Amino acid sequence: MELEEVKRKIVGPAVPLITPLKPDYELDLDGLRTIARFAVDNGIVEGKATLMAVTAAGECPALTMEERKRAMEVVADEVGGKVPLITSAQDCSLKNVIELCKHAEKLGYDCIQISPPFYFDTSPAEVIRFFELIKEATNIGVMVYNTTWLGVLGGKGIDTKLMGRLYQIGNIISVKWSSPNFYTYIDVLRNYADKMAFIDNQYHGLGHLFGAKGFLAVIGGFYPKYVLRLWELYEARRYNEAIEELWKLQIPLYQWFKDMAEQGINGEGAILKPCFSMVGLPAGPARPPNDMELNEEQRSRLREILIKGGVPVV
């Protein structure tokens, strides 16, 4: 498929799936099939949304290379062709990144999410070389993930000038976008939102106003109706109503996420999996060391937030 065609498909809520685990922390592949099918059966389909498998929300940093590949295979087999599929090749090893890119391409994934090199400091020239080497090795479209909290480019992340150089590489069709600098956040969107499919990972409605084609929608994995409704409101430019929807569920839930981190519950699996469990979907534990269980008070507060937000808990 031509990269321009893939770029047009990346629209709406970008819904990341968890990776269910069994009590012994092994992959629950049947559970993964169930939640992928649940998303598609509830409207996460081409033209309305995209699906993200084995990304950070799917605990990819805690999985082995073989586990990541197997989980990618299961999702592609279950829902491939029904919804644009995105996966992750985040890794400190360029060799591993390229291996995951090639595997995703073979499975028919539409795009692969990759952050600039992390762990060691990197310069703009090194970032460009990293993505150029990926392009030489694979034909799959790339979604650049601006992970500034990992210290990428000194914690400042990608700016307008570097974004322009990345666009010139040719295979970068999408950006999962946020920035600690508000001017950079706006300036990059103003200059490149018509050239790449931006998925807002920060301000949602504001990103849409400046041309973002979608937004990260972690709630969509266990409550698709909510994120699809938000996108309808954004597309209709009914931003005041969208803000009210955010206050009903997303803002309280994200505040709970923040509070859990302050109380020592870290990792996306640890905070997202209880949400999936509360609606009756397979989840299981997070991978150690992030398998800290919620206490009764933490769980009760989460349940209350979900119920008030209209989530059909069981």
Q: What is the pLDDT of residue 125?
A: 97
Do the domain assignments include residue 268? no
Q: What is the pLDDT of residue 205?
A: 86
pLDDT tens digits, residue range 203-242? Answer: 988 999 999 999 999 999 999 999 999 999 999 999 999 9
Q: What is the pLDDT of residue 1?
A: 64
Do the domain assignments include residue 293? no
Q: What is the pLDDT of residue 204?
A: 85
Residue 101: alpha-carbon gap to chain centroid:
16
Q: In total, how many domains does the chain have?
A: 1
Per-residue pLDDT of the chain (314 residues; tens, 9 = 90+): 699 999 999 999 999 999 999 999 999 999 999 999 999 999 999 999 999 999 999 999 999 999 999 999 999 999 999 999 999 999 999 999 999 999 999 999 999 999 999 888 899 999 999 999 999 999 999 999 999 999 999 999 999 999 999 999 999 999 999 999 999 999 999 999 999 999 999 998 899 999 999 999 999 999 999 999 999 999 999 999 999 999 999 999 999 999 999 999 999 999 999 999 999 999 999 999 999 999 999 999 999 999 999 999 99
Do the domain assignments include residue 257? no
Instruction: State which residues form the domain around 74.
Output: 3-238
CB distance 212 to 200 below 8 Å: yes
Do the domain assignments include residue 103? yes
Do the domain assignments include residue 68? yes
25: domain CATH number is 3.20.20.70
Do the domain assignments include residue 285? no
Q: What is the pLDDT of residue 182?
A: 96
Do the domain assignments include residue 150? yes
Do the domain assignments include residue 79? yes
